[in-house]
Amino acid sequence: MRNRLILPISLAVFMACAGTAPLAADDSIVVVLPEEPQSLELCESGSSIRRVTQHNVGEPLVQRDPDTQTLSEGLAVSWTQDGDTAWQFDIREGVSFHDGSALDAEAVATSLNRTWNEDLACGVAQQYFQGNTYSASAVDTMTVRIETDTLDAILPLRLSFLAISAPATSTTEKSAAPIGTGPYSFTEWVRGEHITLDRFEDYWGEAPQVAQVQYQWRQESAIRAAMVQTGEADLALSVASQDVLPEDRDTGRAVSFALPAVTLLRFDLVDPLEPLNDIRVRRAVNLAIDRQGFVDVVFDGQGSPANHVFSPSTIGYDETVPQWEYDPEEARRLIEEARADGVAVDNEIVIFGRLGVYENATESMELVAAMLNEVGLNVRVEMLALQAWLGVLRSSYEPGRPTNMMQQSHENVTGDAVFTFNPQYTASGPFSALRDDFVNEHVAAAQGLSGEERAEALREISHYLYTEVIPDAPIAVTSSTMMLSDAISYDPTPASFEEIVIGDIVLTP
């Protein structure tokens, strides 16, 4: 029998839902999220933002199928590579932004260059274009040329993550009121309460069924589940297994779907912070974690142990990297060996956790901390809300910081490891705590490769990271559960944890 977290839903939980009523119109829906977005800027890459904006308010030049990674027409109807360092894109005609301005080559070039402006620090630029320099220009009214400083064989794939914003969007400040070309226009954001999008009646594509969507957010999984169970919401994201009732499964109200996401602990290796600066201690951390037990307890068996930062379906996954065995005795031996050599293994290690990053996030870190303390380390957990967690992440290289590990859920929806290596492990990556010349050089070299040559280069980086460096402790490849009301039908994809496409929702009689 599987171990389960028993987290009872109290009367207070249900009362917390009572203050918000669903929208009255039959063709309007309520979506409840784990957290309030920190912005609605179309050039940002955070999952809390993209759940609202991507493919709803903003659309990319190139569409990507999240199941097959196949690329197809978006706001561009065709593209060709022009030499080693340039591409040309033919822009779709007859498309308007929500403010009435026309989509043309000049508008696209303005939006692209805005995203690549380093002063604006767009998340999409940092995560998906990091490492190269790009510039866009209008060749004619409906043709855009993009030039880069080095060969980039996968530029169309990168562009599938970048929504095009209207020319009126500020080029010096990020926007809280996005203007795109998507099937929904931004209506309002009442901070701390809700965000509303309305169907854009002049949308160039097929009109969606849902006329209006209101996003709300509740940190507790039990509250999100209860809102659907009691009819106060139509879709709840990231619902923990203990909050799903048997009838939710039986009726199809609860839907689980696989994610290309890995839960992990990122080690801070920028400076020699003891004891994590010693590879024996990093190995001990990995050996001390019972990954299958973690999956069984935290995710109710929905998932599998991980040994990479990305899932096995990602190009660059190295099958020769062994899976960590649960071996607390060997973990204790390594820690004592490090102690004998003068390593300060008794120094406190802080796990900076992120509330709501996945189901049972707090309980999962308490479980891991107990495993690590059991083998002789000194670990405590500090759970933070999103904004505070991001603050620690962005300032975690400052002098005087504690030895730390960051709780993360890394999702690679591209199927290509370079999109993980660039932000997570290169010296200039926005989420990187590693400074390693081999990684920097080999990731840069892999950027311009394609086919099997690219796959082999990425596998070599994986092998080096997880046999020679040990930069983190991958724990589990995960799945997620969403709940749907009887009023809607929605088939989630591997990208649905961070991209809820409202146009794909079907209203049921």
Two tokens, residue 509: 């009689």
Is the entire prediction scored with pTM above 0.85? no
Two tokens, residue 135: 């510039």
Give SS3 for 477: strand
Does residue 152 register a pLDDT over 80?
yes
Residues 98 and 441: their CA atoms lie apart, in Å, by 43
Q: Which of 275-289, 299-313, 348-362 has the highest mean pLDDT?
A: 275-289
pLDDT band at 258 (very low <50, low <70, confident <90, very high): confident
pLDDT at residue number 25 = 60
Pairing of strands 235-236, 472-484: antiparallel
**Secondary structure E strands in 19-169:** 28-33, 62-64, 71-73, 76-81, 86-91, 134-140, 143-148
pLDDT at residue number 151 = 80
pLDDT at residue number 8 = 39
Residues 439 and 333: their CA atoms lie apart, in Å, by 30
Average of per-residue pLDDT values in the chain: 90
In the predicted model, what is the mean pLDDT of residues 159-185? 95
pLDDT at residue number 498 = 85
Residues 80 and 70: their CA atoms lie apart, in Å, by 16
pLDDT at residue number 131 = 64
Asked if 433 and 270 touch (Cβ cutoff 8 Å), the reply is yes
Does residue 159 register a pLDDT over 50?
yes
Burial 441-450 (b: 16+ CB within 10 A, else e): ebbbebbbbe
pLDDT at residue number 10 = 40
Residues 97 and 420: their CA atoms lie apart, in Å, by 32
Contact partners, residue 460, CB within 8 Å, separation at least 6: 318, 442
Please measure the distance between the N-terminal and C-terminal CA atoms of the chain and give it in whole angstroms: 39
Residues 69 and 188: their CA atoms lie apart, in Å, by 33
pLDDT tens sequence across 97-134: 999 999 999 999 999 999 999 899 898 988 888 667 99
Two tokens, residue 395: 């300032």
In the predicted model, what is the mean pLDDT of residues 293-305? 89
Q: Is 325 exposed, middle or buried (0-12, 13-18, 19+ CB in 10 A)?
A: exposed
Give SS3 for 283: helix
pLDDT tens sequence across 13-50: 434 444 444 444 679 999 999 999 989 999 998 888 99
Nearest to 504 by CA among 55, 11, 115, 159: 55
pLDDT at residue number 255 = 92
pLDDT tens sequence across 55-95: 999 999 999 988 888 899 999 999 999 888 999 999 999 99
Two tokens, residue 316: 């660059």
pLDDT at residue number 387 = 85
pLDDT at residue number 45 = 84
Residues 327 and 311: their CA atoms lie apart, in Å, by 23
In the predicted model, what is the mean pLDDT of residues 195-221? 97
- The DSSP letter of residue 386 is H
pLDDT at residue number 13 = 41
Q: Which of 35-44, 336-345, 409-418 has the highest mean pLDDT?
A: 336-345
pLDDT at residue number 144 = 98
Give SS3 for 480: strand
Does residue 177 register a pLDDT over 80?
yes
In the predicted model, what is the mean pLDDT of residues 249-267? 90
pLDDT exceeding 70 applies to what percent of the chain?
94
pLDDT band at 396 (very low <50, low <70, confident <90, very high): low
SS (H, E, C) 121-146: CCHHHHHHCCCCCEEEEEEECCEEEE
Domains of the chain by range and CATH? 11-34+183-253+485-507 (3.40.190.10), 62-159 (3.90.76.10), 259-479 (3.10.105.10)
pLDDT band at 303 (very low <50, low <70, confident <90, very high): confident
**Who has greater pLDDT, 389 or 58?**
58
Does residue 417 register a pLDDT over 80?
yes
Residues 34 and 47: their CA atoms lie apart, in Å, by 11
Contact partners, residue 306, CB within 8 Å, separation at least 6: 262, 263, 264, 291, 474, 475, 476, 477
Residues 426 and 46: their CA atoms lie apart, in Å, by 19
Give SS3 for 481: strand
pLDDT at residue number 67 = 80
Does residue 5 register a pLDDT over 50?
no
Does residue 467 register a pLDDT over 90?
yes
Burial 90-104 (b: 16+ CB within 10 A, else e): bbbeebebbeeeebb
pLDDT at residue number 11 = 37
Asked if 83 and 77 touch (Cβ cutoff 8 Å), the reply is no
Asked if 261 and 477 touch (Cβ cutoff 8 Å), the reply is yes
Does residue 421 register a pLDDT over 70?
yes
Does residue 481 register a pLDDT over 80?
yes
pLDDT at residue number 6 = 38
pLDDT at residue number 23 = 47
